[in-house]
A and B are shown apart, each in its own frame.
Chain A
Amino acid sequence: GQQLNQSPQSMFIQEGEDVSMNCTSSSIFNTWLWYKQDPGEGPVLLIALYKAGELTSNGRLTAQFGITRKDSFLNISASIPSDVGIYFCAGQRETSGSRLTFGEGTQLTVNP
């Protein structure tokens, strides 16, 4: 099936540092979504992107929908300990109906 390549797989950073992660695909998506999952919980939607080139912010988080529609990145500025968790990207195509294709996740650890 279709896959998203999400990188890095894990990150260990110091509090206050900025973080960047991205997802790439060989196929075009019409929607890109970024979710965060805390241990023992379900994914929580952070940012949704619906248009190529779109740059959207949610507090310290910024995400962009790549111009080619085959990639997206998520930046977190001035990280804090509660940013710890797994971040997932997900892509959706009009032709696939409701089906989301998920990346494998980026495990973020923030050291105080």
Chain B
Amino acid sequence: ETGVTQTPRHLVMGMTNKKSLKCEQHLGHNAMYWYKQSAKKPLELMFVYSLEERVENNSVPSRFSPECPNSSHLFLHLHTLQPEDSALYLCASSPQKTDTQYFGPGTRLTVL
């Protein structure tokens, strides 16, 4: 059982589509994260939010746009993606920014 949920679990989209990934944590944590996991590569940190404020953006292309409306919800808005963006997108949360992170189940994204 996980306190971090992600929807949808699977998403197939064309390069011209706009879609959003949603993450919700029920743990009362103050920090939330987006990671990208591609085959045979280590997890890549994309964005970090602490108390609803973006504190890290690790050179992620602008076609990925995060949004954190409150400390329990995190979105990743997708626009004009490329096939190489196909991956498992993982959300995580932690009590504070430097604490141990707990992951959601991920959204498997396929860009055609």
Contacts and interface: CB of A to CB of B under 8 A. Distances in A.
Nearest to B4: A42
Nearest to A101: B42
B98 A98 contact: yes
Nearest to B45: A99
A35 B103 contact: yes
Interface stretch (B11-19, B65-73, B76-84, B104-112): B104-112
A104 B100 contact: no
A56 to B, nearest CB: 13
B21 interface: no
A59 B75 CA distance: 36
B43 interface: yes
Given A31-B100, A40-B108, A42-B103, A98 B43 contact: no
A48 interface: yes
Mostly, the B contact residues are strand
Nearest to A9: B40
B48 interface: yes
A33 B41 contact: no
A105 B33 CA distance: 20
Contacts of A48: 100
A104 B31 CA distance: 24
A99 B56 contact: yes
Contacts of A35: 103
A102 interface: yes
16 contacts: A3-B42, A35-B103, A40-B105, A42-B6, A42-B92, A42-B104, A45-B103, A94-B98, A98-B31, A98-B48, A98-B50, A98-B56, A99-B45, A99-B56, A104-B40, A105-B42
